[in-house]
């Protein structure tokens, strides 16, 4: 089956628009072709739903095991406290501190916002 997803809208029948695959023997001008097309579309939708259910189940299981999901933080807790302290208490420039810790200034600004 072709990898490109081809949507088929019921309105297309009114406009006499049909789909004809060059690699598979699917032709929506006939009743049999429409049947094959709709069966394949239904199976693809079913498979997509299964993938979604399995993905959600894996995320729930990972959370139950205590795994942290998503991207790792740029800085550890000690580095984050030290960087925020340098800006808030010591009055250092955010750009300079961000450069020193190897993070984007906006990342450091978000850490500071959460600290306050």
Q: Which tens digit of pLDDT belongs to each residue from 34-73?
A: 888 889 889 999 999 999 999 999 999 999 999 989 988 8
Predicted TM-score (pTM) of this structure = 0.52
Number of domains in the chain: 2
Mean pLDDT across the stretch 81-90? Answer: 92
Domain contains 107: yes
**DSSP structure string for the chain:** --SS-----THHHHTT---B-SSS--BTTSHHHHHHHHHHHHHHHHHHHHHHHHHHHHHHHHHHTTPPPSSPPSS-HHHHHHHHHHHHTS---HHHHHHHHTS-HHHHHHHHHHH-
Domain contains 72: no
Does 81 lie in the same domain as 46?
Answer: no
Domain contains 46: yes
pLDDT at 2: 43
Does 58 lie in the same domain as 19?
Answer: yes
Model confidence band, residue 101 (pLDDT cutoffs 50, 70, 90) = very high
pLDDT at 5: 55
| Range(s) of the domain holding residue 99 | 77-115
Does 81 lie in the same domain as 59?
Answer: no
């Amino acid at each position: 089956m072709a990898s490109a997803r081809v949507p088929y809208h019921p309105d297309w029948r009114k406009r006499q628009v049909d789909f004809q695959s060059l690699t598979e023997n699917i032709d929506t001008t006939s009743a049999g072709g429409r049947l094959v097309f709709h069966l394949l579309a239904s199976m693809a939708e079913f498979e997509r739903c299964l993938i979604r259910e399995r993905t959600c189940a894996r995320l729930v299981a990972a959370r139950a095991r205590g795994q942290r999901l998503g991207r790792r933080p740029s800085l550890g807790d000690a580095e984050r406290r030290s960087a925020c302290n340098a800006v808030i208490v010591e009055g250092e420039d955010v750009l300079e501190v961000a450069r020193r810790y190897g993070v984007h200034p906006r990342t450091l600004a978000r850490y500071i916002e959460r600290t306050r």
